[in-house]
Chain A
Amino acid sequence: MALQSLDIAARSATTTPSPQARGAIPVAKLIDISKCIGCKACQVACMEWNDLRDEIGTTAGTYDNPRDLTDQSWTVMRFSEVEVQEGRLEWLIRKDGCMHCADPGCLKACPSPGAIVKYANGIVDFHEENCIGCGYCLTGCPFNIPRFSKKDHKAYKCTLCSDRVAVGLEPACVKTCPTGAIVFGSKEDMIHHAEGRIADLQERGYSKAALYDPAGVGGTHVMYVLQHGDQPELYAGLPNDPGISPLVSLWKGITKPLMSAGIGLAVLAGFFHFVSAGPKEVEEEEERS
């Protein structure tokens, strides 16, 4: 939903600057996986606040419920049973959802002006009223997050509760988290908070504990504290070095102006050929003979 109370830093399919007179502090949600107990209260809070109701599914033998993100489930706890060392089993529970990239691949790929916006505070939001349902955002996203609605063929994902943040509230999942595993604030504060948590984890034997704020997408406005920061893949396939696919960068980068110019030049070449060489006519005597 369009929020006039938040300023826009970038707009999909727009080649001129977005309205950005007012400044904003970059915000971030920090998810400390070492504190998560997998209660799914965040999933419930997300459903409650956004009035989402997913269909009742079937179990796949894990605690993942629902099994995957959908247009009605914008966040899903992903449970990974991992034997990090011989005989040492760990249950890694990652709250999956939009990472709110500083360089959002979805926004880069989107062809519809203003269907995807990045607010000045860093939140990446879909404005479904402008969505045309092409699915290009799926190709742009390095985290496989946007989901199509079967009802309206439009893409949905976590809004980072942009409507709540706009009026000074924290996202619903943060509000409800019973262990304080999810915290919200300025990105600077969240990085600072994470440093304390990482130092604590390192003291307690997790020497590789680290903050997940991947540089390949310019950093994210949803960050994780990972006990095993050197192996993000352990956490249900969290990408080690995510980035916008080079194919998408090619398609939505240099080819757009170059190919468009190429078509224009072809037309101009024709015009100037005509006014210089002139039409190719069959001569009169040939016509008569």
Chain B
Amino acid sequence: MSTSIQRYTARERGNHWVVAIAFVLAALSGLALFHPAFFFLTHLFGGGPWARILHPFIGVVMTLFFIAMAARFWKLNRFIPADREWRRRIKDVLCNRDHGLPELGKYNAGQKMLFWVMVVCMPVLLLSGIVIWQPWFAPFFPIGLLRIAVVLHALSAWVLIIGIVVHVYAVIWVKGTLRAMTRGTVSEAWARHHHRGWYREMTGK
């Protein structure tokens, strides 16, 4: 057995999973109102009116907890020169040819891109969502603004959903990753292989 390295504290994990659960619920109820093919998803929430009532509250929970999470991880997600090299070699990454990839910190460029996509999408979703929030806020805005908001809301939600599909798949694909968010630790070998810079920082090796 190799030794483990702490990657996420219990608080960080809790924060992440609140955002994740809220995202799943918001995405399911939102998709239900986006395309008739998904309308059946309203049944998960107790019917159409309940899906409509709950969706914005779930969205607010998601955004608030995301802001907390973004504040935690902001600095770690700034791009560094090694990210360009990693991005240039994305084909090798995808084909599992990991030898000679640049030394990375806690996050690779893909993870960072997802982070910044979320940093853009979450506020757009929150603000456009408030504008179309019936019956509380929408009556205070002109219809022209509502029309812009519904399009922005759908567009940013779509980008976010695609981003999360990639995020979830990456966890399925890269073995040994999930435990970072369930138990908080990763194996030393995993850390050395995927995030050598972070591994050195954590172990001093």
Whether a CB of chain A sits under 8 angstroms from the CB of B172 is yes
Knowing A282-B175, A282-B190, say if A263 contacts B150 (CB, 8 Å).
no
Given contact pairs A111-B33, A270-B166, A277-B96, A282 touches B193 in the complex (Cβ within 8 A): yes
Choice from B51, B166, B174, B190 contacting A279 with Cβ under 8 Å: B174
Chain B residues near A251 (CB-CB < 8 A): 147, 150-151, 154
Are B134 and A153 interface neighbours, CB within 8 A? yes
With A245-B147, A266-B165, A287-B187 in contact, do A13 and B134 touch (Cβ < 8 Å)?
Answer: no
Chain B nearest CB, measured from A155 CB (Å): 9
Report the minimal beta-carbon distance from B155 to chain A, rounded to whole angstroms.
8
How many of A's residues come within 8 Å of B, CB to CB? 45
Q: C-beta contact mask, B19-55 vs A, less than 8 Å → 1, else 0?
A: 0000000000000111111110010000111011100
Partner of A259, one of B49, B134, B158, B193: B158
Question: B177: nearest residue on chain A (CB-CB)?
Answer: A280
Within 8 A of B (CB), among A266-288: 266-267, 270, 273-274, 277-282, 286-288
B154 and A280 within 8 A (CB): no
**Does A139 sit at the interface, judged by CB under 8 A?**
yes
- Separation of A287 and B186 alpha carbons in the complex (Å): 11
- Bound Cα distance A130, B47 (Å): 10
**Taking the complex as formed, is B203 at the interface, i.e. its CB lies under 8 A from any CB of chain A?**
no
Q: Known contacts A247-B148, A251-B150, A270-B169; can you find 18 more A-B pairs with CB under 8 A?
A: A132-B51, A133-B135, A134-B134, A153-B134, A251-B147, A255-B155, A256-B35, A263-B158, A266-B162, A266-B165, A274-B172, A277-B96, A279-B173, A279-B175, A281-B176, A282-B193, A288-B2, A289-B2
B-side residues, CB < 8 A to A, are: 2, 32-39, 42, 47-49, 51-53, 94-96, 98, 132, 134-135, 138-139, 143, 146-148, 150-151, 154-155, 158, 161-162, 165-166, 169, 172-176, 187, 189-190, 192-194
Chain A residues in the interface with B (C-beta under 8 A): 13-15, 111-113, 130, 132-136, 138-139, 144, 148, 150, 153, 245, 247-248, 250-251, 255-257, 259-260, 262-263, 266-267, 270, 273-274, 277-282, 286-289
